[in-house]
Amino acid sequence: MSQLRVLVVGASIAGPMAAYWLAKTGARVTVIERFPTLRTNGQSIDIRTTGVTVMRKISGMEAAVRAKRTQIEGLRFVGNVGQIYGTIRATGNPDQQSLLSEYEIFRGDLAKILYDLSEANENVQYVFGEQIASMQQKEDDNGPVKVEFANGFPTSEYDLVVAGDGATSRTRAMGFGGNARDHIDPVNSWAAYFSIKQDLIDASKLGHGYTATGGRFLAIGQDPAGGNTVNLMGVQPRDKRDVTLPFREAMKQGEEPLKRFIAQHYQGAGWKTEQAMAGMMDSSNFYASEMVQVRVPSLHKGRFVLVGDAGYAPGPTGTGTTLAMTGAYVLAGEVGKHKGDLAAGLRGYEERMKPIIKDMQKIPPMVLSIMAPQTSWGIWLRNNIFAFIAWTNVLEFAQRHFMGSATGTDKYGLPDYDWVA
pLDDT one digit per residue (tens) for the chain, 421 residues: 579 999 999 999 999 999 999 999 999 999 999 999 999 877 888 898 899 999 999 999 999 999 988 877 778 888 888 888 877 766 555 555 556 667 888 899 999 999 999 999 999 999 999 999 999 987 766 789 999 999 999 999 999 999 999 999 999 999 999 888 999 998 889 999 999 999 999 989 888 989 999 889 999 998 888 899 999 999 887 776 778 899 999 999 999 999 999 999 999 999 999 999 999 999 999 999 999 999 999 999 999 999 999 999 999 888 899 999 999 999 999 999 999 999 999 999 999 999 999 999 988 766 666 667 778 888 888 777 777 766 666 655 555 445 544 455 557 889 999 998 7
Give me the sign of the Cα torsion angle 360, 70, 33, 338.
negative
Spatial separation of the C-alpha atoms in residues 123 and 109, rounded to whole Å: 23
Spatial separation of the C-alpha atoms in residues 187 and 363, rounded to whole Å: 10
CA distances from 30 to 7, 334, 350, 373 (A): 5, 19, 23, 45
- Coil vs helix vs strand at 354: helix
The answer for residues whose C-beta is within 8 angstroms of residue 283's C-beta and 6 or more apart is 194, 195, 196
Neighbours of 200 (CB within 10 A): 16
CA distances from 137 to 146, 174, 175, 205 (A): 7, 11, 9, 52
Question: What does residue 293 show for φ and ψ, rounded to 5 degrees?
Answer: -110, 150
Residue type for position 142: N
Spatial separation of the C-alpha atoms in residues 229 and 408, rounded to whole Å: 27
Judging by beta carbons within 10 Å of its beta carbon (0-12, 13-18, 19+), is residue 83 exposed, middle or buried?
A: exposed
Q: What is the DSSP letter of 363?
A: P
> What pLDDT sits at residue 289?
92
CA distances from 93 to 89, 255, 317 (A): 11, 39, 20
| Sheet strands side by side (includes 304-306) | 124-128, 28-33, 5-9, 160-163, 304-306, 300-301
**Strand (E) or helix (H) holding 124:** strand 124-128
CB-based contact 80:27 (threshold 8 Å): no
Spatial separation of the C-alpha atoms in residues 282 and 285, rounded to whole Å: 9
